[in-house]
Amino acid sequence: MADIEKLLKQAAMQIGAGGSAGFIEVCIMHPLDLVKTRLQLQATKTSSKHSDPHYYNGIVDCMKKMYRYEGVTSFWKGILPPILAETPKRAVKFLTFEQYKRFFMFGSSTPTPITFALAGLGAGITEAILVNPFEVVKVTLQSNRALATQIPSTWSVTRQIVRENGLGSRGLNKGLTATIARNGVFNMVYFGFYHSVKGYIPESQDPLLEFGRKVAIGFTSGVLGSCVNIPFDVAKSRIQGPQPTPGVVKYSSTTGAIVMVYREEGFRALYKGLLPKVLRLGPGGAIMLVVYDYVYHFLENKFQTKQ
């Protein structure tokens, strides 16, 4: 009974800490996620780049044109779905990571880097299944170029997707395989690197140095994960975003989308949006781990005080 109570308390603290970390990370870093999606959705052009107001020649150009043609609030288009998804997403991420870690220890008393990587992969796959419907709605909203006062609401977009294409692979769960690949690979690298390296860098008694240690490891983990999984992220954006020709599905499968982008636009196109992705998930990875850690310890102390 005591063990069950302890597990329930840990789950409650993980939900509170994970929800706080997710909410803060999304609010701060969402504009870069939107820029990343816009860059990934556009096909490479050979002419009329400069005359097209919706062709973005890099991060700065994208942000300037969004501000000019869509207004400052456009930087937070599609933010409600990830906010709604972050609390259960972070809870699932950390809860399942611990469970997968125990499973992949294979009876050993000490986890290895492979243990952390496989546990991260499992947590990422579980996370992807949960958040994919939110991702479909988010990408649909982010690809909308209307003024902020004219864009449809999150709920109306969700209803439209379900009404027109249902809940399956052509509707609210479109691009599920790509999301699984993206999140699985990212978390495999993210958790694998973070927990492996953390053991080699001792904790500091100085709070400022310890804060810097956590930020540095979290930032590096986020950057590495972003660099490895970006082709799957490009495929996901192409599958879930508007197709080049209305009514014709050009990007339908993860492998097919990657191959098509490579053949038509070249190898570099598979890394579209890498810079804003790194700028988001590098600091974002650090923000998430640091906020999660401090909020978790705060809640842990609160629970202990009440006992």
Instruction: Give the model's pLDDT for residue 108.
Output: 82
Instruction: Give the model's pLDDT for residue 307.
Output: 54
Cβ atoms 153, 193 nearer than 8 A:
no
Q: Give percent of the chain with pLDDT exceeding 70.
A: 91
Report the alpha-carbon distance of residue 94 to residue 98 in Å, rounded.
6
More confident residue, 113 or 89: 113
Instruction: Give the model's pLDDT for residue 89.
Output: 76
Instruction: Give the model's pLDDT for residue 77.
Output: 82
CATH class for the region spanning 2-306: mainly alpha
Cα dihedral 163, 164, 168, 173 sign: negative
Report the alpha-carbon distance of residue 275 to residue 269 in Å, rounded.
13
Report the alpha-carbon distance of residue 189 to residue 229 in Å, rounded.
9
DSSP state letter for 152: P
For residue 2, name the pLDDT band (cuts at 50, 70, 90): low
What tokens appear for 11 in the block?
A: 């789950």
Instruction: Give the model's pLDDT for residue 45.
Output: 56
Instruction: Give the model's pLDDT for residue 47.
Output: 43
- In the block, tokens 């769960």 appear at 173
- The full length of the chain comes to 307
Taking the mean position of all CA atoms in its chain, how far away is CA 93? 12
More confident residue, 263 or 7: 263
DSSP state letter for 104: T
DSSP state letter for 76: G
Burial of 110 (0-12, 13-18, 19+ CB in 10 A): exposed
In angstroms, how far is the first alpha carbon of the chain from the final one?
16
CA atoms within 13 A on the CB side of 160: 10
Instruction: Give the model's pLDDT for residue 165.
Output: 86
Report the alpha-carbon distance of residue 129 to residue 138 in Å, rounded.
15
H or E element that contains 221: helix 207-240
pLDDT tens for each residue of 35-82: 888 888 776 654 445 556 678 888 888 888 888 888 888 888 888 877
Question: Any idea which of 103-107, 222-226, 233-237 has the lowest mean pLDDT?
Answer: 103-107
Instruction: Give the model's pLDDT for residue 187.
Output: 94
What is the arithmetic mean of pLDDT over 160-185? Answer: 91
Cβ atoms 43, 243 nearer than 8 A:
no
pLDDT tens for each residue of 245-281: 877 889 989 999 999 999 999 999 999 888 888 887 8
Cβ atoms 94, 21 nearer than 8 A:
no
Report the alpha-carbon distance of residue 180 to residue 174 in Å, rounded.
11
Cβ neighbours of 300 (radius 10 Å)? 14
Report the alpha-carbon distance of residue 89 to residue 20 in Å, rounded.
12
DSSP state letter for 252: -
Report the alpha-carbon distance of residue 47 to residue 112 in Å, rounded.
52
Tell me what the pLDDT averaged over the chain comes to. 84
Instruction: Give the model's pLDDT for residue 74.
Output: 82
For residue 184, name the pLDDT band (cuts at 50, 70, 90): very high
For residue 18, name the pLDDT band (cuts at 50, 70, 90): confident
Instruction: Give the model's pLDDT for residue 6.
Output: 75
Q: Letter for the amino acid at 8?
A: L
Instruction: Give the model's pLDDT for residue 224.
Output: 94
DSSP characters over 49-108: TTT-TT---SHHHHHHHHHHHH-GGGGGTT-HHHHHHHHHHHHHHHHHHHHHHHHTTTT-
pLDDT tens for each residue of 132-152: 998 898 888 878 776 666 667
